[in-house]
């Protein structure tokens, strides 16, 4: 059958219209699901959300009271994770973009490792944390110092595990930021007699600071919501006190949610608490993303 | 060639490779001290590569290789004991795209100075002023030294980059098409500047603009496909070229 050109264009136009319609429906559906989720959390958990919920310890086997130790524990965890992970990730990214010969086998292996790391299920990081950090490092430190506090799950080893888990995020986003610094700027610096290091410190990093910060925040966001990776390396389901140093165990919002919804003697009773905890977790994530956006736009303006 | 003046830079059987691709073939020439030497030739003929070989900027590109000699004051810049950083402080460079650092005008000029040496504030102030005067920018920016350099016009930015290079007091200034992004008025200012600076510096200028080479340079080299076809006094090269290729190029029958 031979179609006239006007027939072709009509059927094409119909097809185009159809495609737009599908895309639009999908977009509306996604928006709907998100709004529905949030409104259900707000409706169910909003009433339990209060200052005392945020500032009190849980009571009565986690069926009453607040989430203060979980909130504080998550914050400590994420901070320590950032302190451990971001410098290492940034240093790796600097090595990869500024120093490595791009096709050397070492650079390629590091890149391969980073990409592989990004695809590993988080529970595997938890096992790695047990084997490497707790048993190998912690055990080693204990027998070396004659202590007994390092060879067990703790805030420190959980942070270290999460730092490894978020390393790919940091490395990839910092690398991207470093590559975005114009080549001419580097050359101008080198041509003025700066060494590579001076160029990196004085020109490249200041120009990539947005990307480095954004990468760190994305990593923090990823780390803050992660539960599986810390299951075996130091999180605890209930605690009467906040950890007083990094070798102690800690509570965590995500894990607390898991405990409330599956391990509680009365799951139905804790339902409002679960929703409220979810709201706090969501709020934290939202806050982090907002900060990232604000930093980005602020620095872009400069 | 250039026997009338002391030789500052000399290439001897100089070859350059980007990986498997050879970009310069057996270049031989002597660049006189405190004169302006221009390189002309169609785009892609190796002018920038040759210029960037003088301060070893090409070292930054993976897989590049040189053989033959490139000497400054008789010392091979590619010999083992030459320190690249010191070399680049003696051989300043101004690029085609003038990007000031996203810092203040003042910091742009002091950038090279404060890298290794402790310099007092008074000295810095002094050098900033004299470099800006030398690059004919002082009157235009003296009231906003601490404002961002990115607020300057294109022509001013390029003169700032010249001031930035001059501030570390090099012996040689390499300029790679410094006016190609500038309007005629700014170009005129930069050309005027080049003529003034040649009393103190050996200037090597790459340009795709033959009129510019004619206006500001004392010596001109013509490159074609990685080879130096002809090198002579600018007037001689433009009025009575020895080679057919040169004549074709300058009379516009080529490229
Ligand atoms: N980084 C590079 N890698 C590979 N080849 C290059 C590179 N830079 C330049 N070349 C090649 O070397 C030759 C000379 O280039 P260039 O020196 O930039 O010429 P010009 O400055 O005269 O336009 C060209 O063929 C160009 O494609
Ligand atoms: Mg060029």
Q: What is the dihedral of CA B9, B14, B18, B21, to 10 degrees?
A: 150
**Residue spans per domain, chain B:** 7-99+172-250
Tell which one of B14, B17, B18 to mutate to probe ligand 1, the residue whose CB is within 8 A of the most ligand atoms. Answer: B18
pLDDT in tens, B161-173: 999 999 999 999 9
Which residues on A lie below 8 Å from B147 (Cβ)? none
Residue B43 CB–ligand 1 contact under 6 Å: yes
pLDDT attached to residue B83: 94
Each residue of B193-226: pLDDT tens digit? 899 899 999 999 999 889 999 999 999 999 999 9
| CB-CB under 8 Å, A188 with B95 | yes
Q: Domains in chain A and their CATH numbers? A: 61-301 (1.10.3720.10)
> What pLDDT, on a 0 to 100 scale, did the predictor assign at position B2?
46
- pLDDT at residue A91, as a whole number: 92
pLDDT in tens, A224-279: 888 899 989 989 888 878 888 888 899 999 999 898 888 877 778 788 888 899 89
CB atoms within 10 A of CB B239: 10
Residue A78: other Cβ atoms inside 10 A = 24
Q: Please give the radius of gyration of chain A, using alpha carbons only, rounded to the nearest integer.
A: 25
The answer to whether residue A117 scores a pLDDT higher than 80 is yes
Element of type H or E holding B122:
helix B121-134
Query: Is the CB of residue B48 below 6 angstroms from any atom belonging to ligand 1?
Result: yes
* Ligand 1 atom at minimum distance from B52 CA: 17
Find out whether the beta carbon of B46 lies less than 6 Å from any atom of ligand 1: yes
| Pair of tokens at residue A210 | 């947005």
Cβ atoms of B148 and B180 closer than 8 Å: no
Would you state the pLDDT for residue A294? 83
| Ligand 1 pocket, residue B44 CB under 6 Å | yes
How far apart (Å, rounded) are the C-alpha atoms in residues A204 and A186?
A: 7
- The helix (H) or strand (E) run that includes residue B231 is strand B227-233
Residue whose tokens read 């031989």: B28
Going from the first residue of chain B to its last (255 residues), give the mean pLDDT of each consecutive group of 10, the final group possibly shorter.
78 96 97 96 95 94 93 95 94 90 94 88 93 89 92 91 92 94 87 91 93 94 96 94 93 69
Is a pLDDT exceeding 70 seen at residue A40?
yes
**Residue A261 and residue A275: Cα distance in Å, rounded?**
10
**A58 in Cβ contact with A241 (< 8 Å):** no
| Band of pLDDT at residue A68, cut at 50, 70 and 90 | very high
The DSSP output letter for A139 is H
DSSP B242: S
Q: What is the ipTM of this complex?
A: 0.91
Q: Just give the CATH number of B7-99+172-250.
A: 3.40.50.300
Q: Given CB atoms, is B57 within the 8 Å cutoff of chain A?
A: yes
How far is Cα B229 from Cα B225, in angstroms, rounded to an integer?
Answer: 9
Q: Which residue has the tokens 């100089």?
A: B14
Q: What are the phi and psi torsion angles at B52 (to 5°)?
A: -75, -10
Residues 109-168 of B with CB under 8 A from A: 111-112, 115-116, 161, 164-165, 168
Question: Best of B88, B103, B175, B180 to disrupt the A interface by mutation (most A CBs within 10 Å)?
Answer: B88
Quick check: pTM over 0.90?
Answer: no
| Closest-approach residue (CA) in chain B for A208 | B102
- The per-residue pLDDT of chain A, averaged, comes to 87
């Amino acid at each position: 059958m031979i179609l006239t050109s006007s027939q072709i264009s009509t059927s094409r136009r119909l097809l185009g219209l159809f495609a737009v319609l599908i895309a639009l429906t999908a977009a509306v559906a996604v928006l709907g699901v998100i709004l529905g989720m949030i409104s259900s959390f707000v409706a169910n958990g909003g009433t339990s959300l209060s200052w005392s919920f945020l500032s009190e310890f849980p009571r009565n086997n986690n069926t009453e009271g607040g989430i203060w130790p979980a909130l504080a524990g998550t914050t400590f965890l994420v901070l320590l994770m950032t302190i451990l992970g971001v410098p290492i990730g940034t240093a790796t990214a600097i090595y990869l973009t500024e120093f490595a010969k791009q096709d050397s086998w070492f650079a390629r292996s590091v890149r391969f490792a980073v990409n592989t790391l990004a695809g590993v299920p988080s529970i595997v990081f938890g096992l790695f944390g047990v084997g490497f950090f707790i048993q190998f490092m912690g055990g080693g430190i204990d027998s070396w110092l004659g202590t007994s506090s390092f060879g067990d799950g703790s805030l420190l080893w959980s942070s270290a595990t999460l730092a490894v888990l978020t390393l790919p995020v940091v490395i990839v986003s910092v690398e991207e930021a470093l590559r975005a610094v114009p080549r001419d700027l580097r050359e101008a610096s080198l041509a003025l007699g700066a060494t590579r290091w001076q160029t990196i410190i004085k020109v490249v990093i200041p120009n990539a600071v947005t990307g480095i910060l954004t990468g760190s925040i994305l990593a923090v966001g990823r780390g803050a919501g992660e539960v599986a990776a810390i299951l075996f390396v130091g999180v605890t389901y209930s605690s009467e006190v906040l950890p007083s140093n990094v070798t102690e165990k800690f509570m965590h919002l995500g894990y607390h949610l898991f405990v409330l919804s599956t391990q509680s003697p009365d799951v139905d009773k804790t339902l409002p608490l679960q929703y409220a905890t979810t709201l706090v977790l969501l709020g934290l994530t939202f806050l982090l993303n907002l900060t990232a956006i604000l930093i980005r736009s602020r620095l872009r303006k400069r | 060639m250039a026997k009338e003046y002391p030789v500052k830079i000399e290439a001897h059987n100089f070859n350059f490779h980007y990986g498997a691709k050879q970009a310069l073939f057996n270049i031989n020439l002597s660049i006189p001290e405190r004169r302006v030497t221009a390189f002309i030739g169609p785009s892609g003929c190796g002018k920038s590569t040759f210029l960037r070989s003088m301060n070893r900027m090409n070292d930054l590109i993976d897989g590049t290789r040189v053989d033959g000699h490139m000497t400054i004051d008789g010392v091979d810049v590619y010999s083992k004991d030459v320190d690249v950083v010191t070399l680049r402080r003696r051989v300043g460079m101004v690029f085609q795209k003038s990007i000031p650092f996203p810092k203040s005008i003042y910091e742009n000029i002091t950038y090279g100075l404060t890298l290794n040496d402790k310099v007092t504030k008074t000295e810095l102030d002094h050098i900033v002023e004299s470099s800006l005067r030398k690059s004919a920018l002082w009157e235009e920016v003296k009231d906003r030294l601490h404002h961002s350099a990115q607020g300057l016009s294109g022509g001013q930015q390029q003169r700032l980059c010249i001031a930035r290079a001059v501030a570390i007091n090099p012996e040689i200034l390499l300029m790679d098409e410094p006016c190609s992004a500038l309007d005629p008025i700014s170009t005129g200012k930069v050309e005027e500047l080049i003529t003034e600076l040649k009393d103190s510096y050996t200037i090597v200028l790459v340009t795709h603009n033959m009129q510019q080479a004619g206006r500001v340079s004392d010596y001109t080299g013509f490159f074609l496909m990685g080879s130096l076809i002809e090198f002579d006094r600018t007037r001689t090269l433009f009025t009575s070229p020895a080679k057919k290729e040169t004549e074709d190029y300058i009379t516009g029958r080529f490229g």
